[in-house]
Structure 1
């Protein structure tokens, strides 16, 4: 059995999920009263976010829907939160209800942003391939319909002839 083919936007999705998980974890950590993370904590967070992004990139195509994206972001935020609580700093391991609500709202917004970016990315890649390949595209010539000089209404013909197509005077 052959492995499932990845979507063309899978690297974009994985990179965005990894970056947003890290950014949201640091922001929520600061809002939750945590101190500025030291270098060991940031290293652990970076490894965690990189792992979440890589796992999201290599998810099978059937999990690339909105629910899969929300699950990746949510589980990534949970992993990042626990990565921040593994080091010595005054912060509880369990998130409070307001922090949980903020994470849920941020997850939904980020999922919408990533899904929109994927749609735009697919369109841009399609156009880019057309431009780079340089394949000649067929150009359809417009068909000119013959306009009869015989008008059923002479007033209509008089009004058409009286409309000036001349522009304003040009300064000399």
Structure 2
């Protein structure tokens, strides 16, 4: 796979996971639900992170509009279900897991469409943005070497290998005598 496409796929996975969690909470709140409890939030963030990681590593080709919408829809469903699975009565407010109001569904659907548009626009801009960042950082991180003086040419150092001699070969001691 093309490394640039692999980077875009991983960033798409990150975006789907992050948008699923954040828009899931926002859509839930805008539709009249209360903010979920800490355990529900942790469950939702973990589930959306797993979804984003899976998307980032398994997709092998560019995703189209339908695929992006489907992935975000699955992310919204996971966010909604994971925020309600722990049965926090205070977190889900006026309805249970099975009772999804039309307002709740409309806000989740709107968040899915807005997130899909943001991801598709971002995917088009990512290669240009990363190229600009690399072009800006390359002179700073990789300075030209031809302008830097080499210290070994300025200060000649004699080769120390020629002055080292084997001293052990000049020793006259022999092996111990055998006692009879």
Tell me, yes or no, whether TM beats 0.5.
yes
- Structure-to-structure mapping, 1:11-90, within 5 angstroms: 11-62=10-61, 64-88=63-87, 89=89, 90=93
Q: Secondary structure at the match of 2:86?
A: coil
Q: CA RMSD in A?
A: 2.2
- Equivalent residue of 2:117, what SS? helix
2:21, 2:79 within 8 Å by CA — same for their partners in 1?
yes
CA contact (8 A) 2:9 2:62 kept: no
Kindly state the Cα deviation for residue 132 of structure 1 after the two structures are TM-superposed.
4.8
Structure 1 17/133 Cα, relative in aligned 2: closer, same or farther at 3 Å? same
Q: How high is the TM-score relative to the length of structure 2?
A: 0.64
Q: Which structure 1 segments of 5+ residues have no match?
A: 135-172
1:124 aligned counterpart, secondary structure? helix
2:31 and 2:103 in contact (8 A); partners too = no
- Tell me if 1:116 matches 2:108: no
| Aligned-residue offset at 1:58 | 1.6
Q: What's the offset of the Cα at 1:59?
A: 3.0
With over 3 angstroms needed to count, the CA separation of the structure-2 counterparts of 1:133 and 1:34, relative to structure 1, is closer
| Contact 2:27–2:104 (Cα < 8 Å) also in 1 | yes
Where 2:33 maps in the other structure, the secondary structure is coil
Radius of gyration: which is bigger? 2
CA–CA distance in structure 2, aligned partners of residues 28 and 11 of structure 1: 25
Question: Would you say how many aligned residue pairs link Structure 1 and Structure 2?
Answer: 132
Contact kept in structure 1, 2:12 and 2:56, CA below 8 Å: yes
Counterpart Cα distance in 1 of 2:129 and 2:65: 21
Cα contact 2:28–2:104 (8 A) shared by 1: no
Question: 2:97: which partner in 1?
Answer: 93
Cα gap change, 1:47 to 1:110, in 2 (>3 Å): same
SS in 2 for 1:62: coil
How far apart, in 1, do the equivalents of 2:46 and 2:32 lie? 23
